[in-house]
Amino acid sequence: MLPLAAAAQQGTAGWYLTDYVFKDGSLQKESLLMGTSSKLKDVISYTGAKGKIEITHKRFDVASGKLLHGVTYEVSWTDPSSLLEPGKNYTVDYELKTKVSNPWKAPQQSVYFNQGLNGVYFTTADGVKYITKFLKATPTTEKVVAKGSKGQKREIQVNMGSGFSAIYKFEWREGGVPATTAPAVVNNGNKPGWYLINYVFKDGSLQKESLLMGTSSKMNDVISYKGAKGKIDITHNRFDVASGKLLHSLKYEVSWTDPSDILEPGMVYSVDFERTTTESNPWKAPQQTVNFNQGISGVYFITADGIKFLNKDLKSKLTMEKPVTRGTKGQKREIQVNIGSGFSAIYKYEWRE
């Protein structure tokens, strides 16, 4: 018997935040005015970033270019908790402001957790769950969070109307720590560049038995982590299966800052990076890198003295070895923070004009 299970399975049971997705409702669409041959054009667009966006919907007469109707409204919200524990209620701060009404009003909004047949809405103190007018409030879940089963998925949707929504994805875990906070940028911007669209954490946790080479002795490797985006502690222990004795161990901590949410061509960018080994028995922390997948070999973030493969403890600013190049509309790229032991933080970008 092993003395301990993987540390990633210790801690609080609950729904852990695993991902964030922004649904972009932007469109340009022509249609006929009912019963006539007149063409209308609807244009829906937005500006802003996660937590605060401004949405505009305009309708034009195609022949004359005249603006017929329109609305501009701003939605602000806070991220929900990254851990939802059963038996508890949770809140978000939410604000809706209409800036232009000609004569349209802002469409209905809601914040919703897909638990149960009809879901659980976040409601205001006076019970409002469908937001249809100016509001600045702290909606709270109308029911407590229910227990899940291992690996089950749920999500909180912030529905902003006009086809826009912010989706926070959760997974039930019996214990552990959230590996991601919702970082994605939703700014269309007004300049060409690589725009951050998502963040993914690759979890290297494992328990694996193997034979000691040339013998019949079994070993059990346990790799686990704790922490959150920007700072995690990784532990790798190797035990003798028969006796439970710890043979080798390693603990190290990696801290990093998020890269820029917009990468402009011709520019170089930096991240702060730190690695600290807290236990070495006798293993050393594995190699780390930060890489942008531009070109055949990629572009590494390097130290001031040119080191790109990080093989020892350090605290340094890492800067791209080459400037960012232009892309083509819709092209995807990513920055990978390779933390070692199978763990990585992946920032996904898309080229926008």
Of 141, 172, 203, which residue constitutes the final position of a domain? Answer: 172
**71 or 7: whose pLDDT is higher?**
71
Hey, which residues does 264 pair with through a beta bridge?
none
Is 229 found in the same domain as 101?
A: no
Residue 101 tokens read as 């009404």
Q: Is the pLDDT of residue 336 over 50?
A: yes
Residue 117's pLDDT band, with cuts at 50, 70 and 90, is confident
Is 105 found in the same domain as 44?
A: yes
Is 26 found in the same domain as 160?
A: yes
Contact 223, 203 (CB under 8 A): no
pLDDT on residue 329: 87
The pLDDT of 293-299, averaged and rounded, is 93
Q: pLDDT digits over 213-236, tens only?
A: 777 788 999 999 888 788 899 999
Residue 31 lies in a domain: yes
Q: Which amino acid is at 345?
A: A
Residue 3 lies in a domain: no
pLDDT on residue 96: 95
pLDDT on residue 4: 25
- For residue 9, which phi and psi values (nearest 5 degrees)? -100, 0
Tokens 């605060």 locate to 52
Separation between Cα atoms, residue 3 and residue 17, nearest integer Å? 29
Separation between Cα atoms, residue 265 and residue 194, nearest integer Å? 8
Contact 34, 277 (CB under 8 A): no
Is 195 found in the same domain as 167?
A: no
* % of residues, the chain, pLDDT over 90: 59
Of 117, 144, 172, which residue constitutes the final position of a domain? Answer: 172
- For the chain, the domain total comes to 2
Give me the domain span that covers residue 123.
Answer: 21-172
Is 196 found in the same domain as 101?
A: no
The pLDDT of 242-249, averaged and rounded, is 92
Q: Provide the phi-psi class of 121: left if phi over 0, else alpha when psi is between -120 and 50, else beta.
A: beta
Is 197 found in the same domain as 159?
A: no
Is 132 found in the same domain as 239?
A: no
pLDDT on residue 274: 95
Residue 6 lies in a domain: no
**pTM of the predicted model, to two decimals?**
0.54
The pLDDT of 238-250, averaged and rounded, is 92
Residue 11 lies in a domain: no
Q: pLDDT digits over 65-108, tens only?
A: 999 999 999 999 999 998 899 999 999 999 999 999 999 999 99
Of 172, 203, 235, which residue constitutes the final position of a domain? Answer: 172
Alpha carbon 251 to its chain's center: 26
CB proximity list for 104: less than 8 A, separation 6 or greater: 57, 69, 70, 71
The candidate with the shortest Cα–Cα distance to 2, out of 222, 224, 281, 203, is: 222
Is 207 found in the same domain as 350?
A: yes
The pLDDT of 193-211, averaged and rounded, is 85
Q: pLDDT digits over 305-319, tens only?
A: 999 999 999 999 999
Residue 190's pLDDT band, with cuts at 50, 70 and 90, is low
Specify the range with the lowest mean pLDDT, choosing from 25-34, 164-173, 227-236, 319-328: 25-34
Is 227 found in the same domain as 120?
A: no
pLDDT on residue 184: 44
Specify the range with the lowest mean pLDDT, choosing from 41-50, 137-146, 242-251, 268-277: 41-50
Residue 141 lies in a domain: yes
Residue 180 lies in a domain: no
The candidate with the shortest Cα–Cα distance to 92, out of 76, 79, 104, is: 79
Q: Is the pLDDT of residue 177 over 60?
A: no
